[in-house]
Structure 1
Amino acid sequence: MVRANVPQSQASSSQIGRVALEDSSSPYFLQNGDHPGLVLVSHSLAGNNYNTWSRAMSMALTAKNKLSFVDGTCLRPPSEDLLYGSWIRCNSMVISWLLNAVSREIADSLMYIATAHEIWIDLRERFHQSNAPRIFQIKKLLTDLQQGSMDVSTYYTRLRTLWDELKDFQPVSVCSCGSMKDWVKYQNQDCVMQFLMGLNESYAQIRAQDLKMDPIPAISKIFSLVVQEERQRSIHSDISGSSLDHNPILSPKPINAAVKGSSYGKGDKGGKSDNLTCSRCHYTG
């Protein structure tokens, strides 16, 4: 019910403003955990990682329902609007999140920009790389990437990171004739080839087995097979090492082991070597 001394239009505007602030789907809504010191992404913007940083930041702001403050869709309302104060507060909050997600040198250069949208545009103009050089760089990294001293999981993770970034540059095709399945199949085969080529030569046997499969399985299946091979080798290595440690015949003897009845290290003038007895394992000879 509207009070008699409050105009109807003013009461309606006040109600609309209150609903906008309390509605969790509204961009003006702030959760209890939202504060200026919040860090939304794990890796700060250093300049050369803008593409991955902007994607991670966009997902984080979308989860917070604040992406509209950086893409320009939530414009500043007039100063007489009831939501003006809420917009200023949310805009300042998003600016704080952006400053927390960049290096200190970059943050100092953004300190006096008034809106989150202007900061977003400024970062894009400064650090965004055009498609062609970045695609060339990614493909060069894929060509040079080898397993080396990495385990299979780490090597595969680095490949997946480059594949996903490269896929982000590819145009999205819409096809209803069914030929897209052949293109997806070819992409999977290309990923399998890159993964197998970069493996160490110790995996030559499992590589040959995978290439004989027809059709070639998904890259995730190939990765699972190689990881199983790696784990089997680790188990055999542990068993072999344990056998050497517990077998007195197979375990290596110290060179300076004490020997009974010999002049070890002082020439071969006394006694036969067959009568020598080791003080550690008690074997003769």
Structure 2
Amino acid sequence: MSTSTSIDPTVIPVSSPYYLGSFDTPSSIVVTNLFNGVGFNAWKRAMTIALSAKHKLGFVDGSSVQPDTSSPNYSNWYRANSMGIRSDEFSTYYTKLMKIWDELRVVQDFPSCSCNATAALNKFLEAQKLIQLLMGLNDSYKIIRGQILMMKPLPTLSTAYALILQEEQQREINFVHVFNSKAIAMNVSQKS
């Protein structure tokens, strides 16, 4: 007696790097301790282990190569790659950027002057920092980035920082609400 086994192409095996479990979300935090500039080797080891366990290390080290857009695997690769597992929060990114700007200010210190040219130059440099900050954000921030760039006049760095943090906090609230709703619905359906 022969049985025919066919594999459903829409089902992604758990061992595939394209597989996304219920906890693989854009706001997932892979390791609890964010890298703060100290203990890089320990942090890297924790990240490597966590990503390896999820079969996602290839998205970080480049070994999971993007398939051609006509490939049947492209949509699965794109979906898994878009999850953007976080190892860095916006505030950490901002702090690193501020350190770089501070170091540049020491190296490229402008002479102090009370003329209008210095005020105009400082305003220009502030706008450049804002653009650098916004362009360094990943695509999950594209809506808030666009909203900030459309403001006339451009907001200060501190205002943009507050707006982005507010957006990030709102996402976390929405994620917790969606997760709790699904858990409640699942619990109800099991009791029915």
Q: TM-score, normalised by structure 2?
A: 0.52
The residue that corresponds to 1:272 in the other structure is: none
> What's the CA shift for 1:229?
0.1
Q: Aligned partners of 2:137 and 2:100: how far apart in 1?
A: 16
> What's the CA shift for 1:195?
0.6
Aligned ranges 1:61-140 → 2 under 5 Å: none
The question of 1:225 aligning with 2:163 is answered yes
Q: Aligned partners of 2:127 and 2:172: how far apart in 1?
A: 28
Q: Aligned partners of 1:188 and 1:250: how far apart in 2?
A: 53
> What's the CA shift for 1:249?
7.5
> What's the CA shift for 1:176?
2.9
Secondary structure of residue in 1 paired with 2:87: coil
Of 96, 109, 134, the match for 1:171: 109
> What's the CA shift for 1:177?
2.4
The question of 1:199 aligning with 2:137 is answered yes
Check conservation: 1:244, 1:250, Cα contact below 8 A.
Answer: no
Identity across matched positions, percent? 38
Of 94, 100, 103, the match for 1:156: 94
Q: Aligned partners of 1:201 and 1:247: how far apart in 2?
A: 31
Q: TM-score, normalised by structure 1?
A: 0.36
> What's the CA shift for 1:231?
0.1
Tell which structure's C-alpha radius of gyration is larger: 1
Q: Aligned partners of 1:250 and 1:156: how far apart in 2?
A: 42
Q: Aligned partners of 1:202 and 1:176: how far apart in 2?
A: 41
Check conservation: 1:152, 1:227, Cα contact below 8 A.
Answer: yes
Q: Aligned partners of 1:250 and 1:202: how far apart in 2?
A: 33
Q: Which amino acid aligns with 1:160?
A: M
Q: Which amino acid aligns with 2:136?
A: G
> What's the CA shift for 1:224?
0.9
> What's the CA shift for 1:250?
8.0
CA RMSD of aligned residues (A): 2.3
The residue that corresponds to 1:246 in the other structure is: 184
Identify unmatched segments of 5+ residues in structure 1: 1-42, 44-147, 252-279
Identify unmatched segments of 5+ residues in structure 2: 1-36, 38-85
Q: Aligned partners of 1:202 and 1:250: how far apart in 2?
A: 33
Q: Aligned partners of 1:248 and 1:170: how far apart in 2?
A: 59
Q: Deviations over 1:93-113 (max 9, x none)?
A: xxxxxxxxxxxxxxxxxxxxx
Secondary structure of residue in 2 paired with 1:179: helix
> What's the CA shift for 1:245?
0.9
The residue that corresponds to 2:191 in the other structure is: 281
Q: Deviations over 1:55-75 (max 9, x none)?
A: xxxxxxxxxxxxxxxxxxxxx
